[in-house]
Amino acid sequence: MLKKTLRFTGWTIAFLTAFSMLAVGRVSLPAATAKPQPAQTAEVKIDNFSFGPETLTIAVGTTVTWTNRDDIPHTVVASDAAKTFKSKVLDTDEKFSFTFAKAGTYPYFCSVHPKMTGKVVVQ
């Protein structure tokens, strides 16, 4: 009985601590500084044989989702030798997402229509 109580108490304390830390964390959002909270997701629309926006600047950890709005299939393939990201073929309305965990510049293109190029700049 004692063991159970102790365990329960321990768990409760841990939970309350975590909860209050979270609450503190939320409250500590800076109101005075100019830098906004970075977005976690970003979008690129594929239409008319082009990527829009052609250059996308995001923060590390952001997930970019490409949506094909064109009436012809496209792909999203990183231009580097390692092919950091490579989508399967996307028909109209299909999507592809990739999370950029490392900073850098990532040029990419459509492997079906190689004249279509874009860039993701991760800061």
Partner 1 sequence: MSDAKKKDELLVDHNKDGVDRRGFLKCMAWAGTGAFCVMSGGVLKSYSLSRVSEIGAADAAGELSFVQISDSHMGFNKPANTDVAGTLKAAIDKINALPVAPEFMLHTGDVSHLSKPEEFDAVEQILKSSAAKEVFYVPGEHDVLNDDGKDFLERYGKGSVGGGWRSFDKKGVHFIGLVNVMNLKAGGLGTIGKEQLEWMEKDVKHLKSSTPIVVFAHIPLWSVYPEWGWGTEDSAQALGYLKKFGSVTVLNGHIHQVMQKVEGNVTFHTAASTAFPQPSPGKADSPGPMKVPADQLRSVLGITDVSSVRGRHALAVIDSTLA
- In 3D, which of 93, 58, 56 has the Cα closest to residue 74? 93
Q: By CB under 8 A, how many residues form the interface with partner 1?
A: 22
Q: How far apart are CA 81 and CA 99, in angstroms?
A: 19
Shortest separation between residue 49's beta carbon and partner 1, angstroms = 4
Residue 74 neighbours by CB distance under 10 Å: 27
Q: Which is nearer to partner 1, 58 or 70 (CB)?
A: 70
Residues 56/100, Cβ–Cβ less than 8 Å: no
User: Taking CB under 8 A as the rule, which mask of x and - marks residues 62-101 in contact with partner 1?
Assistant: --------xxxx-x---x--------xx-xx---------
Q: What does the binding site for partner 1 look like in residue numbers (CB under 8 A)? A: 48-50, 70-73, 75, 79, 88-89, 91-92, 107-109, 111-115, 117
